[in-house]
Amino acid sequence: MSYDVFVQAIPVVLTGLKLTLIITLLSFVLGQVFALPIGLALASRSRLLKWPAAVYTFLIRGSPLLVQLFILYYGLAQFSAVRSSVFWPVIRDPLNCAIIAIGLNSAAYAAVIVAGGLKHLPAGQLEACVSLGLSRFSRMRHILLPQVYRAIFPSIGNEMVLVLKASSLASAVTVMEISGAARAFTSKTYAPFEVFIVAGIVYLAIGFVFGLAFKSLERRLPSVVAITKDSRPRRSKTNALSATS
């Protein structure tokens, strides 16, 4: 192991930090935006809503993210209809493709988390909403979804760390984020061990900061003890899932 290469690799790897943070944050936001409607569809009793969402999550979760990224960046460019469309200026950029691919991938996993949170809501929550005469939109916005997101918040934090790690695949489409910068420096020094040790430390540091941030936010959120204690199965046939139908 060369100490000199290790020291030289630090500033080089950090040149990709900005792009890594951009990819991670934008992909995470994109994933959460799509996760909510997909999660609601997964938890719905309507087959017209549930089946397309189930197919989407099955395909995305069942195939490698790298393959999805290659299809989006390399595959779609083969079609003249895509190249002549209004989406081409966005799709032809590797950074945009990385953000879209990682975001849509994250949406599938986060949607399952949202659907699981809806399924574990106690039936009494819906019964109370119905007795108050709340509309479906009002009960979801003001009663059910706030409780769901409080309950699944730790899982959402874990999803952001997974998005961070997934951002390293952006280097496969020439994006010079942390992994891309490390790979380029390795081709010059022929010292992959030292260079990728530095990259790994940077990823660990970012993930640690994200973890602390979500832990801090979680402590500020209202308690969900009432939800978890009241999540035992009931004899009532009414279920909170009907709110999403």
**Burial track 189-225 (b if 16+ CB lie within 10 A, e otherwise):** eebeebbbbbbeebbeebbeebeeebeeeeeeeeebe
Over residues 5-14, the pLDDT tens digits come to 999 999 999 9
Q: Class of 3-232 per CATH?
A: mainly alpha
DSSP class of 73: I
User: Among the listed ranges 76-80, 162-166, 187-191, 225-229, which one has the minimum average pLDDT value?
Assistant: 225-229
The whole-number pLDDT of residue 223 equals 61
Q: Which residues of 115-141 are buried (b: 16+ CB within 10 A; e: fewer)?
A: bbbbeebbbebbeebeeeebeeeebbe
Q: What pLDDT digit, counting tens, does each position of 100-134 carry?
A: 999 999 999 999 999 999 888 877 777 777 777 77
- In this prediction, residue 162 carries a pLDDT of 97
Is the pLDDT reported for residue 235 higher than 50? no
Mean predicted confidence (pLDDT) in 215-236 = 59
Binning pLDDT at 50, 70 and 90, where does residue 137 land? confident
pLDDT interval class at 230 (50, 70, 90): very low
Q: Quick: pLDDT tens for 164-219.
A: 999 999 999 999 999 999 999 999 999 999 999 999 999 999 999 999 999 999 88
Q: Which of 47, 226, 221, 245 is nearest to 120 (CA)?
A: 226
Q: Where are the alpha helices (DSSP H) in the chain?
A: 3-14, 17-43, 47-62, 65-70, 80-83, 88-91, 94-119, 123-131, 136-138, 145-166, 178-189, 192-220, 225-229
Of residues 94 and 45, more confidence is placed in 94
pLDDT > 70 in the chain, percent: 90
Query: CA 41 to CA 54: how far, in whole Å?
Result: 8
Domain residue ranges of the chain, discontinuous segments joined by + = 3-232
Q: What is the mean pLDDT of residues 36-61?
A: 96
